[in-house]
Amino acid sequence: MGKTYENLIFDLFGTISTTNYATSITRWYYQQKQPSSAIIDPIFVDDIKRLSQKYHLYIFSNSKYEYVTESLKYQGIIEYFTDLVISSDIKDRKPSMASFQYIIRLGVKPEMSLFIDDRQRNRKVAEKLGFSIVNFRNKNTLLQYLKAL
């Protein structure tokens, strides 16, 4: 590890979300647009709170803005994130270069940022721009990595 970071950028649904994401997003679209009470896997909540004291945390997701924001508010953890970069809000999706440049325009320096994602095509663009990357493989490995930060 050894590198110092200012920012941690999470791909929400490929990494720190619950396994019931598909069910909850379906319910969001086809029912009352009620927020999910468990968008973030509970095993990550304490780490999110702890890491937010040391790093600027970002969510970078290709999901629906209202779904993400309402669900994070419902869980009482939205305040732990510096910003949410959501494709439906910025009108661009990962892995486009423009979507990553949006984050950079927020003041995020790639060389001071760790990008955590499960998709190679997203990590490839991030790495090309100078972000350090973590290849998400499974939650236990990511939890161990986050505990070391």
Instruction: Place 72 in a pLDDT band, splitting at 50, 70 and 90.
Output: confident
Residue 1 clears pLDDT 60, i.e. is over it:
no
Q: Phi/psi class of residue 36: alpha, beta or left (left: φ > 0; alpha: ψ in -120 to 50)?
A: beta
Instruction: Place 22 in a pLDDT band, splitting at 50, 70 and 90.
Output: low
The whole-number pLDDT of residue 15 equals: 82
Contacts of 30 (CB under 8 A, 6+ apart): none
Q: What is the pLDDT of residues 119-133, one digit of tens each?
A: 999 999 999 999 999
**24/136: higher pLDDT:** 136
For residue 147, CA distances in Å to 15, 34, 89 come to: 15, 32, 31
CATH class for the region spanning 7-148: alpha beta
* Distance (Å, whole) CA 77 – CA 79: 5
Instruction: Place 63 in a pLDDT band, splitting at 50, 70 and 90.
Output: confident
